[in-house]
Structure 1
Amino acid sequence: MTDGALSSHDRLYIGGEWVVPAGDDRIPVISPVSEEVIASVPAGTRADIDRAVTAAHEALVANPWASTTLEDRIALVERLRDLLVKHSEELAQVITEEMGCPISQSRAIQVVNPVRILEGYVEAATRYPFRSVRRSEHGQALVLREPVGVVAAVVPWNVPLSLTIQKLVPALLTGCTIVLKPSPETPLDAYVVARLLDEAGCPPGVVNIVPADRDVSEYLIGHPGVAKVTFTGSSAAGRRIAEVCGKDLRRVTLELGGKSAAVVLPDADLDLTVEALRLGSFRNNGQICTLKTRLVVPAELQDEFVDRLGDLLDSMVVGDPRDAATHIGPLVSERQRTRVEGYIATGLAEGGRLAHGGGRPDIDRGWFVEPTVFADVDPNATIAQQEIFGPVVAVIPYANEDEAITIANNSTYGLNGAVFTTDVERGVEVARRLETGTVELNGNSAGFQAPMGGVKYSGLGREFGPEGLDPFVELKSIGIPPAIADALA
């Protein structure tokens, strides 16, 4: 790592400068491995938010960023991409130190996906109809898609770099400016991003980064200078953000929790299925909202499936995430481990059969939990209904296909899902019946050009592809004379 990426920071990135914060409070960054403070950053105040929003507004209007060409905005984003690639090892190590993701996954996923997300948005922007002409017998219109304004982005701790890029890049490409609020658990990678934006030549005030606690975060999302909020996090927090934004009819995109079901059909290749769940259910130590945590399997295959899943977990190394041989590291915080262990206890109390794990590994320090499998889980049990956010899955048996789909749809969430079968056409038909925003067939990802988002309590709006640019623009229709319609098209 370079430039003291794991060092403490004393300033905030506002208006293209590293400025002294208004207050003296600090946010400690605690290693989930050593349980010790490894760095600290300033805790932004309401005054810092005011300053950041003002800087973003001035960059939007006075400079003005909003009137730059798409080509110029793409050029900035592509310079950022090149720097993300150049500093990928530094970023991977920072993320592993901050939140405990195994370094192999930080290198292969945590710092690779942001580049893929960025490139997907650039591709979408090149085809996006920022300006078009619509004709009818009743009139002609020049239809413009203009920047919505200052964006507030609130990023969680589990995939901090991916979600920073997921919110930052569409804002930049559409001509918006942004105030980014990283999670208190993982602010250090955001400081690296700020440094790289500076190096990429980002104009002052276009991007502002202010770590802050919950109270100051709520002040940001309700700030009168903010036109749009984009948030990823829990459904409970999302409902509160929607409430705050609703008071002022502020635009909002919410990517929230999930309790995704993998429907294993009777003809599924169990070797392929179980291997797909290695990352599909347990990557990032089980701390991903799209993971398949309800495994809906034919009753006659449950025992074999659970045995195979147990063999997989036995082969996975639980340990220090800085070791390249580790597959599962610690949870992000002591609070998170307490939460996960509480769900394990509830699963046992409600009659779930503990088939694997359930305790703590024999490791002296760190917030570790064994990867855990419950079998014979009632579809209405707490561990089958609530998002645990740890390496815990519930295997739910079914008697027929209709029951499997009923079980999968028996959730207040609808973010992701999966179908496993050797009959692809049948798999697509089952996928169409699932009440969820995305379905992965036999472990195949939808990529970063297709819209991603949830139904039910899993969110509002979509990210990725042209649909991911839509929330960052406002539509304007200008009636024009027929004679100039062709020239403006």
Structure 2
Amino acid sequence: MIWALSALLPLLPLLIWWISSRPRKELRPEKFELPFPPESQPNWKGRRLSPLSIYQKEDPANIYCYCPATGQFLGKFPAHTSSQIDNFISQARVAQRSFYSDDKFQMKKHKFLATLSTFILKNQAAIARVACRDSGKTMVDASMGEIMVTLEKINWIIKHGDAALRTSSRPGPSNILMKYKKAEVWYEPLGVVSAVVSWNYPFHNMLGPIISSVFAGNAVVIKCSERVRWSSEFFLQIVRSALKVCNIPEDLVQLVCCWPDEADSISGNPGLDHLTFIGSQAVAKKVVSKASEVLMPVVVELGGKDAVIICDDYLKAKGVDGIASVLMRGTFQSSGQNCIGIERIIICGDDENYNQLVEKLKERVSQLRLGSDIDQSEGIDVGAMIMDLNYDKLENSITDMVESKQARLLCGGKRFIHPNYPSGHYFTPTLLADVDPKSTLAQNEVFGPVMMLIHAKDNEEGISIANSTSYGLGGSIYTTNRKRGFEYASKLRTGNVAINDFATFYVCQLPFGGVKGSGYGKFGGEEGLRGVCVEKSVCYDRLSCMSTSIPPVIDYPVGERAWSFVEAMLWVGYGGLRGWRWIGKLIDGMKP
């Protein structure tokens, strides 16, 4: 018996950890079921929309939704009007007051996130199919870019969110005469916040601001893109079902989708307390201008031209196979429609290393297969793009670069008419080598399946090329020397840097945002949670017997000795040892 117990002794810490890590009963996730739309099922048969457009002239009041991978019609939804948007915001305001004033607010917000996480994990394949059907991406792309990052955000906030929003004690005044004061910062909800999100990751882009906003005690109004209206409606049902089973008002989360001419009803709405905008520079300027009319604080994330800098030591030590896989995933995931996707690959130094990598990538890019993998389960690497509006411009830019010898076209460079899905929006995975870093495509965001290889003579030139665009969102540095990696990271003019990796700063729940033309402000991590809060500065007496009083000499009417008193007060407070000789004047000034 003793022998058996001693054998189990090493397992005791594991048992203690398991017991302590189990959530308290009141925090355990609730279960709920939700029927998934039939259109998301594999091999679903639906009619092709014609003309293939979200806007139909004969029915301008509705948004028409279709699958960009196949052209199949998914349904139509009314475009919201300004009066409807105002009503949604009013409903959100009422729900927020009820939610935050609830005695069980702290418990309910944790239960809500745990419930949401459990549902997502259990139904990850079905959720991914909904995202794929509406955006054209593949299931693997949806798993990594929609499901994983959302689960990570939820679980990180469950574990660390309370600490981020806990009352922050501050040192208080440095003046010795005011040491009786205690200073704190309280983090309180703003009220009703909003997020205008892009279409490239419809599930994660919608869930991200909901998770942080609700945890901070806010209501949130999401304005989704018209291009993912169908999936966004279903994702709203998931969120509201989780709210309902946790006894939280469903109106706490609202979804808006409107035509551009009604968008000012969001960006300039005095009923909103904060706006996060994810989109293009051109639209951001309009949004920020309108928001300024009601003095609404705005965070803007505007895409990037992220570069991977492969230092001269890296390929010599590591070879090309491993880095080639990273570059492929970073460039072609979601058909290149990633704000922190790899847009430029800068190979520094040795010609031989550069040429080897070019050949390896040429071999791999040429073998990529296009299609809809929820309808054709095997043999698909890259999905569709969500729209084909820029295909002419992209094809012409590639042709111009090649003809002007600003690049060599090794693969792709044109749209692809899929034999099984002729209505789908496909662009052939493209590889451009020997790219001139000053060329149009090298300077501007492509947001498509285009890989660009740039050869730099050395690492310093590589850094210079990386910094040469108007963007500054993210970037990567590959080197075998950690000290060098830190040095070069400090030289990159970007808001985010990954060393010997790409884009992992996003998964790490760090504050996310860019510099230069990539926007300003941050969301994500501790800073993102606090960003949707009122940072309330609070000062109070450490002891009830000590509080501020106005010395008679400076009380109204001001006495003759007022100046000598305040001079002495400043010397005592800030003069260090020299200030002690002023104590007499200070005491004298405090006499009636």
What TM-score comes out, normalization by structure 1 length? Answer: 0.90
Q: How does 1:273-352 map to 2 (within 5 A)?
A: 273-298=323-348, 300=351, 301-322=353-374, 323-324=376-377, 325-351=379-405, 352=407
Alpha-carbon distance in structure 2 between the residues aligned to 1:52 and 1:479: 37
For 1:224-253, what per-residue CA distance to the aligned partner results, in whole angstroms no more than 9, with x for missing partners? 101100121122222222222223221111
CA 1:359–1:463: 2 relative to 1, 3 Å: same
Report what 1:34 is aligned to.
70
Report what 1:272 is aligned to.
322
CA 1:249–1:362: 2 relative to 1, 3 Å: closer
Q: Which amino acid aligns with 1:264?
A: I
CA 1:64–1:95: 2 relative to 1, 3 Å: closer
Matched, 1:245 2:291: yes
Matched, 1:397 2:430: no
Matched, 1:125 2:161: yes
Report what 1:65 is aligned to.
100
CA 1:484–1:151: 2 relative to 1, 3 Å: farther
Alpha-carbon distance in structure 1 between the residues aligned to 2:418 and 2:235: 33
What TM-score comes out, normalization by structure 2 length? Answer: 0.75
Matched, 1:155 2:197: yes
CA 1:483–1:424: 2 relative to 1, 3 Å: same
Deviates more, 1:280-289 or 1:450-459: 450-459
Shift of 1:5: 5.8
Highest RCO, 1 vs 2 (Cα 8 Å, sep ≥ 6): 1
Alpha-carbon distance in structure 1 between the residues aligned to 2:159 and 2:146: 21
Query: SS of 1:158's equivalent?
Result: coil
Is 2:99–2:249's contact at 8 Å kept on the other side of the alignment?
Answer: no
Is 2:312–2:458's contact at 8 Å kept on the other side of the alignment?
Answer: no
Is 2:343–2:452's contact at 8 Å kept on the other side of the alignment?
Answer: yes
Alpha-carbon distance in structure 2 between the residues aligned to 1:204 and 1:484: 44
Is 1:339–1:388's contact at 8 Å kept on the other side of the alignment?
Answer: no
Query: SS of 2:226's equivalent?
Result: coil
Match for residue 182 of structure 2 among 134, 140, 165: 140
Match for residue 450 of structure 1 among 510, 514, 533: 510
Report what 1:56 is aligned to.
92
Is 1:5–1:90's contact at 8 Å kept on the other side of the alignment?
Answer: no
Alpha-carbon distance in structure 2 between the residues aligned to 1:57 and 1:335: 38
Query: SS of 2:426's equivalent?
Result: coil
CA 1:3–1:393: 2 relative to 1, 3 Å: closer
Deviates more, 1:130-139 or 1:295-304: 130-139
CA 1:304–1:362: 2 relative to 1, 3 Å: farther
Report what 2:475 is aligned to.
417
Q: How does 1:164-175 map to 2 (within 5 A)?
A: 164-175=206-217
Is 2:472–2:515's contact at 8 Å kept on the other side of the alignment?
Answer: yes
- Structure with more helix by fraction: 2
CA 1:36–1:337: 2 relative to 1, 3 Å: farther
For 1:32-65, what per-residue CA distance to the aligned partner results, in whole angstroms no more than 9, with x for missing partners? 122232222221111110110111111223x243
Task: Show structure 2 runs of 5+ residues with no match.
Answer: 1-33, 41-58, 546-592
Match for residue 76 of structure 1 among 96, 103, 112: 112
For 1:12-48, what per-residue CA distance to the aligned partner results, in whole angstroms no more than 9, with x for missing partners? xxxxxxxxxxx98211112212223222222111111
Shift of 1:147: 0.9
CA 1:195–1:397: 2 relative to 1, 3 Å: same
Task: Show structure 1 runs of 5+ residues with no match.
Answer: 8-22
Query: SS of 1:143's equivalent?
Result: strand
Shift of 1:126: 2.1
Alpha-carbon distance in structure 1 between the residues aligned to 2:537 and 2:480: 49
Is 1:233–1:255's contact at 8 Å kept on the other side of the alignment?
Answer: yes
Matched, 1:4 2:59: no
CA 1:72–1:362: 2 relative to 1, 3 Å: closer
Deviates more, 1:347-356 or 1:275-284: 347-356
Is 1:124–1:465's contact at 8 Å kept on the other side of the alignment?
Answer: no
Q: Which amino acid aligns with 1:203?
A: P
CA 1:312–1:464: 2 relative to 1, 3 Å: same
Is 1:57–1:177's contact at 8 Å kept on the other side of the alignment?
Answer: yes
Deviates more, 1:436-445 or 1:257-266: 436-445
Query: SS of 2:71's equivalent?
Result: coil
Matched, 1:461 2:494: no
Percent of paired sites with the same residue: 27
Query: SS of 1:292's equivalent?
Result: coil
- Structure with more strand by fraction: 1
Alpha-carbon distance in structure 1 between the residues aligned to 2:99 and 2:341: 41
Alpha-carbon distance in structure 2 between the residues aligned to 1:412 and 1:361: 31
Q: Which amino acid aligns with 1:65?
A: Y
For 1:411-449, what per-residue CA distance to the aligned partner results, in whole angstroms no more than 9, with x for missing partners? 111111111222233222222211111122222522232
Question: Larger radius of gyration, structure 1 or 2?
Answer: 2
Match for residue 357 of structure 1 among 390, 412, 417: 412
Alpha-carbon distance in structure 2 between the residues aligned to 1:433 and 1:96: 38
Alpha-carbon distance in structure 1 between the residues aligned to 2:75 and 2:298: 32
Match for residue 236 of structure 2 among 191, 194, 200: 194
